[in-house]
Amino acid sequence: MAYKIKKGDTLSAIAKANNTTVKAIQNANPSITNPNVIRAGATIQIPGKTVKTPPATSNVSTGIATGSTTSVSPGSSTVVTSGISSTGATQMDKFSPEQLAAKFGVAAAVINSDKSLQDALNKILGLDGSGTMITDPFLQQQVIQGTAWYKNQTDTQRQHAFFKQTNPGQYASSLQLNASEIVKKFAENGLSITAADAIKYADQMMQQAVIVDGKVVRYDQAYLNKLMADSIKFDKTNTFESNGKVIYDLDGKLETMAQALYDRAYDYGYPSTVSNEGFKKWFEASIKGLVAGTLQPEDVDNELEQRAMSLFPGLKDQMLRGQTLRQAADPWITTIATTLEIDPKSLDLNNDLVQQALNYTDDKGNVLPMNLYGAKKLARRSKDFDYTQTAKEEKTNVASIILRDHGFLA
């Protein structure tokens, strides 16, 4: 019996409807070389059976065609497509997004918004003018993967789009939860973020990775850390009345991080004040690097150590053995501070006397610390020594001796 192939038919469906097999139909029709490719409008012979109309396929939409209109009813999971009919009369074909996803892995709403996908499905369904429907799943996949939509998106980006379109309620809930977590992370670091930005970043993090200008951009923890680092504002400062030193005033975890940097700068003799332009740049870059994760605490120590070694080459060996600059310089600092009758902690490593004591040049041109006795004499010759109690007593004793020698004192 003769049968005219209609749009949407598959050879297996025709065989089943007529109680025969695909192989039997092929044998009766030598022109069918590929059972997965049949042409709508062609007439084939059904061996020894009465022709029946094959059932409409439910796993492939026949509704994505040039000139057709596709809509999604509000609150409904059914996509209704008009304008496609195998008989020439208008009919309404229905399929759910779940069925479409099972076949092509694409949400119906995504297809409606992307012409490359619409053209791909028209090609699969033989509605592109060829009249040949592609029924081979592998070939169908190749067509989908050849679209601009597929090439310009990552797997996670496509999954995100599907989730957003098919589960709007769950998507909104997940988005809000992730946005709240981002606000929390910013707050822990003493940083603020607008609700709009938190939602924007949350949506990006849910996509995980996207393709931008042909390159993959990853939205991961490193990306979020960089966002936090870039949002740090260094506009608040505090001034110490005792020494006029100006430092940054930060909050949350940044405050703890900043204090650690100030302490390390002190240990390695870096004048830690905002008025020091070199320290200011180093401090801001270090804070941002530590928050972004591009810098580790040991990197900070290594940088400070290298700086200290270049300024105090005579103490290089001690620092290579694990001492900080202040630990290595402690004997000379203590000697000078004791001579000047001040707290050693108040003596800056950049003090002129400390610099002279630690960077003494011997007769051979070697730069090394002078002996401690020399450091003591150096301190006694300074103007600061004149204000010590020892200096006052010594001067009083000398004056008394002179007066006594001249007969003014008994």
pLDDT tens by residue, 166-185: 888 999 999 999 999 999 99
C-alpha span between 368 and 98 (Å, rounded)? 79
- Residue 346's domain comprises 325-387
Give the total number of structural domains in the chain.
Answer: 5
Question: In the prediction, which pLDDT does 62 show?
Answer: 30
- The predicted-structure confidence for 123-156, as pLDDT tens digits, reads as follows 888 888 888 888 888 888 888 888 888 888 888 9
Say yes or no: 330 and 357 in one domain.
Answer: yes
Say yes or no: 192 and 257 in one domain.
Answer: no
| Residue 410 located in a structural domain | no
Confidence check: pLDDT of 82 > 80: no
| Residue 169 located in a structural domain | yes
In 90-130, which residue ranges form alpha helices assigned H by DSSP?
97-104, 108-112, 115-124
C-alpha span between 374 and 372 (Å, rounded)? 5
| Residue 179 located in a structural domain | yes
Say yes or no: 140 and 79 in one domain.
Answer: yes
Confidence check: pLDDT of 104 > 80: no
| Residue 394 located in a structural domain | no
| Residue 118 located in a structural domain | yes
| Residue 74 located in a structural domain | yes
| Residue 110 located in a structural domain | yes
| Residue 51 located in a structural domain | no
Confidence check: pLDDT of 64 > 70: no
Confidence check: pLDDT of 338 > 50: yes
Confirm if 124 and 59 have CB atoms less than 8 A apart: no
* 154 closest CA partner among 211, 201, 205, 202: 211
* 358 closest CA partner among 305, 322, 310: 310
Question: In the prediction, which pLDDT does 219 show?
Answer: 94
Confirm if 326 and 269 have CB atoms less than 8 A apart: yes
300 contacts: CB under 8 Å, gap ≥ 6: 261, 264, 286, 290
Q: Look at residues 230, 256, 279 and tell me which one is the last residue of a structural domain.
A: 230
